[in-house]
A and B are shown apart, each in its own frame.
Chain A
Amino acid sequence: MKLSRLGSFHQSKLSFLRSFIREFKDWDYKRNLFDLDENGYGTAIYSFSKNQRSYSLVCFAQHINSDERSDRVIATKWDAAFVLHDGIPNKEDIKRLKENVPKQEVGRVSCKELALSRANKSVRAFDHVVDSLSLGRQPDKKLLNKVGYLYRTTAVYGSGKFGLADRFRIKDRKEIYGPFRLEMMLVYIVRQFTFDQVNHIAKSKSPDKAIELDLNIARNLGIGNSTGLGMAPFIVNHPTLLHNWIYCREKALKEIRSLEEVDNNELNFFKDCLIKSKVSINSWITDSKYQNNKINSLKEGLIKFDKFLKNECSIKQKYLWNKIYTWAENNLEDECLEYIVSMMMEPYDDIIDPLVNNMSSEEEEYFTIPTHKKVSDLKKIIENNYKSIIKIDFNLKDSNFNFWFISKNKEEPRVASRYEEHGAKLEQPLAIARDIKKLYEKIIKEKQTKTIAEFLLKNDEVRHVVRRAFIVDQFPYSEIQDNTISASLVPIDMLRLKLSFFGAVKFDPRSDKWLRINMYQGAPLSHEMKNSNDTWVYNVVN
């Protein structure tokens, strides 16, 4: 798929936020410790438990000066830092975590920890809420709707980073079969912490007057997130995982389009989600011209779609979903088409639920190159799977414009022009299209009966893309069918692809390289999880 299409994906029933709540709704939620001072600084612990298993979020809140508050990865202090601990932490664990977790990348955690994160306050929203509650009144909903959250996370780490547990230690636990489930748990509990913290500070400020944040207002708040380029290489570096995500989406769509009959309940459910979701679209605010064009295209598309739905669709028609999809494909732009696809999944738990557990990947299984195969096999694979890529002329400046690198300062991925900046010699292996083309040019000159083992003996500089080509042969959606170093690259499309699978909404690009999003807006509060339904994402109110 082209990046522009992937960058138009929206949250859906397959999204990881939603599958987390479905999986953990019958777990016991508890606030184990809440030791904050009158300013809201201190330690809090929350847990989810079921049978013999517990997961605990340990939160450390501290004072920082406004000149220290930065969402950039170069920051060294945050309003709050969090770690998800495997089990219930003892006193020694808490002491160890207190010394390390607030330091984030320069601290060390252990294999007893599963995910690490930090967050900054949205100062305007947070202060307003605390002030209002301490004066005995609810905060201004308009202001809160504009922001959408009290805190923004600026990174969520998992899988072996900074000493965290390697995935292999925990991957067989059934409750975390879906991708990023523990990271989603961390963010969900952080959201609850933000509500508890504002209530606590307001009460400390004005014990007699203060009131608690209205539950309807709280439910309408999510957790923000600032996401930069760190996320972009992920989808290039995890091809089988990317395949599984998109394959499940495509499989769901295919099964829904193949339904011969659609009943009234299903169609009404779809219509209901569509109507409610428009509230969220109308409160999607951004200064980005790029995103505003996409939002406008979505709004215009939905007006056209409403007319089509009203005038031309009825449950009496066979294969109604196929008719709807075909019409959308021919009449709508990517932004609205992908929106309709997400909505079409809503009535079908029976189709979606079995797919969710297939969205992880055992990547190691596909690492070994089948070196007994012939060069002719590889040539065929490239010609079949990289049709548009091998037509790109990389001698053109615009095709070869950018390079990806890791910054020495924070060890984070970056992208820059190879013609304007230094460092291209240390380019990361993320220019897949260019390197596939290079590989193709080599193999068309080789003896076709040679084995890949023989070819690699003299061509190890293309080994990384030989591996990829054989992966693509098994996993057709594993590759972005675009040039990730071209002058026209829009890196935030790569971010949005991943974030849409997380279940993020309100994409708010702040440049072509980073954006803010909202997660869990409208989600049930912790005490409401057990009785929640899966369409909470459409509960957002203006």
Chain B
Amino acid sequence: MQSLSEIDTTSKRASKAAGYSWGVSEEIGKAIRSLELFGLPGVTNLNLYLKKIKKNHPKKISKIDEENKSQELCPIYCGVAFLDQCIELEKLKNIKFYNVNYPLLILPFISKSSEISGKKILIRFDNTSFLTNFNKSILLKNIDEQICHLTSEIRIEFLENKNSFPEQDWKELYKLSEETFVEETDSLRSKGAGAGLTDND
């Protein structure tokens, strides 16, 4: 199983390789770590999205309004901009983004914004709703029916620690992250490295 630290580092490097700046890539690393910690498929969504934009990097969002339309919006640029401006954006009450790719990727930024603004933030797309609670938890789906008067059964199960993503997604994301590494020539190997060449002393 991959540790959250590995997920953070590999997501950061892969995002840099896909064209984001180091500063934004750092945000992405933390965001994917947070999604995975909440049990949501961050690695898989990021892997698919980075593959999609590898050759055609998305446009940045220049301003957030009540309604944000574009042919396709980047969930990461929207998320980072939302996070940066969340205190100001609170005044708008309702904000809509149209045509957002891989919308789950915006969620950790909204969740973090909930913590910064001290407000619960509700985010809905398609048939899914997420209630972000100050970045402490995320309540999924059916939130309109949250009061249940009687249930016939409650099941509790301790789950084994395992990745929430298929091995293939990890391999692909990892391979992309390797594009931030430098292939070593003989010269780099002898000049750039630490430690000795012979250690039988």
The reply to whether B161 and A111 form a contact with Cβ atoms under 8 Å apart is yes
A510 contact set on B, CB distance < 8 A: 195-196
Query: Could you say which of B51-59, B125-133, B147-155, B176-184 contacts chain A?
Result: B176-184
Closest to B199 in A: A71
Separation in Å of the B120 CB from the closest CB of chain A? 18
The reply to whether A421 and B84 form a contact with Cβ atoms under 8 Å apart is no
Bound Cα distance A226, B184 (Å)? 21
B178 contact set on A, CB distance < 8 A: 408
The reply to whether A228 and B3 form a contact with Cβ atoms under 8 Å apart is no
14 A–B pairs (Cβ distance < 8 Å), ordered by A: A70-B197, A72-B197, A120-B199, A154-B195, A160-B5, A164-B3, A166-B4, A405-B192, A407-B189, A426-B179, A460-B23, A460-B60, A461-B21, A462-B23
Bound Cα distance A426, B3 (Å)? 25
Which residues of B15-62 have CB atoms within 8 Å of chain A's CB atoms? 21-24, 26-27, 30, 60-62
Which residues of A228-259 have CB atoms within 8 Å of chain B's CB atoms? 228-230
Interface centre among B3, B87, B191, B194, by most A CB within 10 Å?
B194
A409 contact set on B, CB distance < 8 A: 183-184, 189
The reply to whether B180 and A160 form a contact with Cβ atoms under 8 Å apart is no
Closest to A416 in B: B192
B189 contact set on A, CB distance < 8 A: 407, 409
Tell me if B136 is interfacial: C-beta within 8 Å of chain A: no
Contact among B6, B187, B195, B201 for A160, CB-based, below 8 A: B6
Tell me if B92 is interfacial: C-beta within 8 Å of chain A: no
Contact among A69, A162, A411 for B181, CB-based, below 8 A: A411
Tell me if B88 is interfacial: C-beta within 8 Å of chain A: yes
Bound Cα distance A461, B198 (Å)? 42
A464-B23 CB under 8 A given contacts A163-B2, A453-B88? yes
The reply to whether B81 and A457 form a contact with Cβ atoms under 8 Å apart is yes
Closest to B116 in A: A368
Separation in Å of the A108 CB from the closest CB of chain B? 8
The reply to whether A73 and B24 form a contact with Cβ atoms under 8 Å apart is no
Bound Cα distance A542, B127 (Å)? 75
A163-B6 CB under 8 A given contacts A372-B87, A462-B23? yes
Which residues of A156-177 have CB atoms within 8 Å of chain B's CB atoms? 159-168
A406 contact set on B, CB distance < 8 A: 180-182
The reply to whether A421 and B192 form a contact with Cβ atoms under 8 Å apart is yes
A110-B1 CB under 8 A given contacts A70-B199, A161-B6? yes
Interface residues of B, count at CB 8 A: 49
Closest to A66 in B: B200
A451 contact set on B, CB distance < 8 A: 88
Bound Cα distance A227, B2 (Å)? 26
Which residues of A61-107 have CB atoms within 8 Å of chain B's CB atoms? 66, 69-73
Tell me if B185 is interfacial: C-beta within 8 Å of chain A: yes
The reply to whether B193 and A229 form a contact with Cβ atoms under 8 Å apart is yes
The reply to whether B195 and A71 form a contact with Cβ atoms under 8 Å apart is yes
Contact among B85, B191, B200 for A453, CB-based, below 8 A: B85
Contact among B84, B180, B188 for A369, CB-based, below 8 A: B84
The reply to whether B112 and A368 form a contact with Cβ atoms under 8 Å apart is yes
Contact among B3, B80, B84 for A163, CB-based, below 8 A: B3
The reply to whether A422 and B22 form a contact with Cβ atoms under 8 Å apart is no
Which residues of A389-410 have CB atoms within 8 Å of chain B's CB atoms? 405-409
A71-B196 CB under 8 A given contacts A406-B182, A423-B188, A426-B180? yes
Which residues of B64-83 have CB atoms within 8 Å of chain A's CB atoms? 80-81, 83
Bound Cα distance A464, B193 (Å)? 26
